[in-house]
Structure formats: C-alpha cells, structure tokens
Amino acid sequence: MTAPVLSVCGVSVVRQGRALVDRVDFTVRAGEQWAVLGPNGAGKSTLLGLCGARSHPTTGTVDVLGHRLGRVDMRSLRTRIGHVDPRTRIDPWLAVRDVVLTGLVAGAGLPKRWSPGDDEAREADRLVATLGLHERATAAWEVLSQGERGRTLIARALVTDPALLLLDEPTTGLDLAAREILLGVLGELRTIRPELASLQVTHHLEELPAFTDHALVLARGMVVAAGPVDDVLTSEVVSEAFEYPIAVARHANGRWSAAGAAAALA
C-alpha cells in the first residue's frame, strides 16, 4: 500500500472555546478522489485549511505529503498543494496565461521583473491548451465567464505539479452548462494525472464527479462517516448529517442526486 498523501489523526480545532473540528480521522492516498460534505458550519472549510497547510490543529496530527504540520515550513509545503477556490482574488487585468503563472508565486498578480523559467512557461501553455483555454489565453480575467475562470483556476492550481489538489466548492456561481463542463475537465484530469489525489468540498451531491471514490461527511465538526463512497453517501448518513430526511440516489452515469425523502417518494 502506498504512503498516505494526507493523514489526519485525532484532529480538533478549537476557537474561543468552541470546537470547529472535533476528533477527525481520515487518510487520503495517491490517486484517491475524496468528497467532503456537510451542512453549513460543519467544519469543512476549517478542515480544508488544515489539509492545505494554511493552519494548525489545536490537538491531533496532520501529515501532508509526508510532512507533519508544526515541523515543516508551511509556505514551502503549500507550493506542492494545488488549491482551487472561486473566491481567489486575481488582478482583473491579468490575461489567462498570466493568471495560470500566478500559481508559481502564490499571489493575486505577478511580481515586477519576475519571469517564469522556460519549463514553467511551457507547462503553463500546456495547461492552458489542455483545459480548452488556448483561444482565450490573452483574454483578461475581468472579461472571462465564470466557467472560463473556473478552468483557469484549475490550471493555476496544477502549474506547480502538485501531489494534492483541494477544490473548495469549485462550481460556485456556475450555471448548469458551465458546471458540467468543469466537471468534465476534472474527469479528464483523472486520466491525465491518475496519481493526483483530490478533495472536493461541496454542499451538493449533484456537483460531485462520477469518479469520486471516497467521501467524508461532517456534522457539527465531527465525522458522521468516512470511507469508500458507496458506503458513505447513503440516505441514512446524509440525513443524519443534515438533520433532515434526505433520499440519496446514484444513477447509471455514476452521478448522485439528493432530495427530501417525501419529495423523492412523491
């Protein structure tokens, strides 16, 4: 069995006497695609901050890419983690290709008198083409559609060749067509980089790609269930987490849907 990409053991995060995350355990290995679900206030964003080496636990241990938080240079570690967040601030005048390059400097823009190396420039161009943005490579961020921005942010996250990809509600603000395009892109990534592990945070089962193979469901900062996706994304588990009767269904195409149990029976 391969070494874990991410290991979270007995982790709690306490702020002002309140446990935002409470005794969480789970392990992610290379190539696994995890969903992280739960209602508002469940602790999803707090947990993602730990996984992205952006914060420390109050108790417990977090090992990311073989390094334990608290014993490693967090800034250096973050360069090996891809992070896709639609709320990321980007300088509005930057062209698509330059936005992708900002992933190398982890900033909203590019530093003055900075230029990428030849290999870095080639990788940025390759990702722009791979994600279907070649014809928009010189378009400014401010004129991009939400779907184009989403694909650009994925390219930005991948330009450092990370071993772990964190997706923080990547379909936020997208219409139905743009959402499906973005999920299709994520599906292609699984083929291009099969060793890449990912965690996707979402509120909605409909936003999960069909290739999702593991899931973690949180409620009130605690784990309701974690493990193989078909064992975790059940009506019973989701209903317990959201404290409401919800019927979960997985369809022939591998995608999920969820509805109030009464509506699903109607």
Q: For residue 245, tell me if it sits in a domain.
A: no
User: What integer best gives the mean pLDDT of the chain?
Assistant: 90
4 and 22 housed in the same domain: yes
Q: Could you read off the pLDDT of 185-201 as tens digits, one per residue?
A: 888 888 888 899 999 99
Phi, psi (5° rounding) for residue 82?
-85, 135
Instruction: Tell me how many domains the chain contains.
Output: 2
Whether 265 maps to a domain, the answer reads no
**Phi and psi torsions of 38, nearest 5°:** 160, 165
Residues 48, 175, single domain; the answer is: yes
Query: What Rg do the C-alpha atoms of the chain give, in angstroms?
Result: 19
Position 36 scores a pLDDT of 96
Share of the chain above pLDDT 90, in %: 62
Both 103 and 224 in one domain: the answer is: no
Say whether both 11 and 135 belong to one domain. Answer: no
Instruction: Tell me: do 27 and 70 sit in the same domain.
Output: yes
Label residue 263 by pLDDT band (50, 70, 90).
Answer: low
218 in the same domain as 94: no
Whether residues 76 and 201 share a domain: the answer is yes
Amino acid letter, 145: S
pLDDT, position 182: 86
Residue 266 in domain: no
Report the pLDDT value the prediction gives residue 262, as an integer from 0 to 100: 66
Structural domain includes residue 259: no
Half-sphere exposure of residue 39: CA atoms within 13 angstroms, side-chain side: 13
Tell me: do 58 and 110 sit in the same domain: no
pTM: 0.90
Token pair recorded at residue 50:
């730990």
pLDDT tens digits along 36-95: 999 998 999 999 999 999 889 999 999 999 999 988 888 888 888 999 988 888 999 999
Asked whether residue 17 is domain-assigned, the answer is yes
Give exposure, 38-51, as e/b (b: 16+ Cβ within 10 Å). Answer: bbeebbbbbbbbbb
Whether residue 23 is contained in a domain is answered as yes
Q: Is residue 255 part of a domain?
A: no
In a domain, 36, yes or no: yes
By residue range, what is the domain housing residue 166? 1-80+162-181+192-233
* pLDDT score, position 188: 83
Q: Are residues 61 and 117 in the same domain?
A: no
Q: Decide: 32 and 200 in contact? Cβ < 8 Å.
A: no
* pLDDT surpassing 80 at residue 261: no
CATH code, 222: 3.40.50.300
Same domain for 73 and 166, yes or no, is yes
Instruction: Report how far residue 33's alpha carbon sits from residue 94's, in angstroms, rounded to the nearest whole number.
Output: 31
